[in-house]
Amino acid sequence: MYEFFKGKLVEKTPATAVIDCNGVGYILNISLQTFSQLKDKEDILLYSHLVVKDDSHTLFGFSSIGERAIFRQLISVSGVGANTARVILSSMSTEEVYNAIIMNNVGALQSVKGIGAKTAQRIILDLKDKVNKGEDVAEIFTDSHNTSKEEALSALVMLGFARHAADKALQKVLKSQGFSLSVEDLVRLALKIL
């Protein structure tokens, strides 16, 4: 219903942000990940998700589309509510959550307060296929990883490889190795595929 909120940051806490959008103040629940991105900016844009329950309408705000995407996937899992998903995203980065799901790392998810072994296994079981098939993981991280991927892509094109083939190789590397690779590592691993 609400795609994003853009306006002046009036107040922020580690759990909430208040944005003034043309004279109307909206309070959005945020993760620590988003809180760290806000710094002391005056004009901000937060991507949003509205959770409607019988007794409340609650807005959640995210600094990136990737963070909102994993939040939406997490709340689709039985037994994982909006607040639990926010705790997960406060304890782990978006990339770490995706890596934990892709690599079947139950221990990483269990390290989050309130997530037991069964819930961690359910998250991995329910989301592994969605992460691997339904959504292009490399594209979800447009905000945080676009720079590294684009630099690696430029380097491969300058080396004489076709842009489309180089892009496919980089996406394979990102899916198999995770998202915390340097530009040099991305290029080196993509060269092995090309």
Asked whether the predicted pLDDT for residue 177 surpasses 80, the reply is: no
* Average confidence score pLDDT of the chain: 86
Structure tokens at 99: 């890596």
User: Which residue ranges form the domains of the chain, and what is each CATH number?
Assistant: 4-62 (2.40.50.140), 66-135 (1.10.150.20), 139-193 (1.10.8)
Structure tokens at 109: 């998810």
pLDDT of residue 146: 54
Asked whether the predicted pLDDT for residue 136 surpasses 80, the reply is: no
pLDDT band for position 145 (50/70/90)?
very low
Average pLDDT for residues 159-173, to the nearest whole number?
85
Asked whether the predicted pLDDT for residue 111 surpasses 60, the reply is: yes
CA distances from 16 to 10, 30, 31, 86, 88 (A): 11, 5, 8, 11, 16
The label of the residue with tokens 């995706």 reads 98
- Residue burial 32-50, b: 16+ Cβ < 10 Å; e: rest: bbbbebeeeeeebebbbbe
Asked whether the predicted pLDDT for residue 20 surpasses 60, the reply is: yes
